């Protein structure tokens, strides 16, 4: 595919190429970007960098560490917010989790539509 075959889903200063013929991927990318926009600025930058395609080698361990941190949310500096963020990062690379991520994004959009609009 050439660069002309892609549309860019833009969020802040980051662009992820999304195929033009896949409206579901564009919608999913828009919703994920809107949720990332709700994070603190430093976290937004880190998550956007981790979601880049070439950073898979770091995304998987970071997702696992965030999940563990979310499970240990009773400790200071760790919070339950880490759990969904870790799952979101893992879903970038684990096909089984992508369907669950899409279902979760549908539920969030239905329950709290202002989060993803």
What is the model's pLDDT at position 72? 85
Distances, alpha carbon 71 to alpha carbons 3, 39, 53, in Å = 41, 19, 27
* Mean pLDDT value across residues 89-110: 85
Distance CA 69, CA 1 (A): 39
How is residue 17 annotated by DSSP?
Answer: E
Q: What is the pLDDT of residues 25-34, one digit of tens each?
A: 888 888 888 8
Q: What is the pLDDT of residues 40-88, one digit of tens each?
A: 898 889 889 988 888 889 989 988 998 898 888 777 777 887 888 888 8
Nearest residue to 9 (alpha-carbon basis) of 51, 55, 57, 43:
51
98, two tokens = 């992508």
State the DSSP H helix or E strand holding residue 16, giving kind and residue range, or none if neither. Answer: strand 14-19
Contact 41/65 with Cβ under 8 angstroms?
Answer: no
pTM, two decimals, is 0.63
What is the model's pLDDT at position 14? 52
**Helix, strand, or coil here: 117?**
coil
């Amino acid at each position: 595919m050439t660069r002309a075959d892609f549309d860019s889903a833009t969020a802040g200063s980051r662009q992820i190429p999304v195929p033009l013929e896949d409206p579901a991927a564009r919608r999913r990318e828009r919703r994920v970007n809107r949720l990332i926009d709700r994070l603190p600025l430093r976290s937004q930058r880190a998550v956007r960098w981790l979601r880049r395609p070439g950073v898979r080698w770091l995304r998987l361990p970071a997702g696992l560490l965030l999940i563990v941190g979310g499970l240990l949310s009773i400790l200071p500096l760790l919070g339950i917010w880490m759990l969904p963020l870790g799952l979101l990062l893992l879903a970038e690379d684990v096909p089984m989790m992508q369907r669950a991520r899409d279902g979760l994004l549908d539920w969030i959009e239905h329950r709290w539509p202002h989060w993803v609009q």
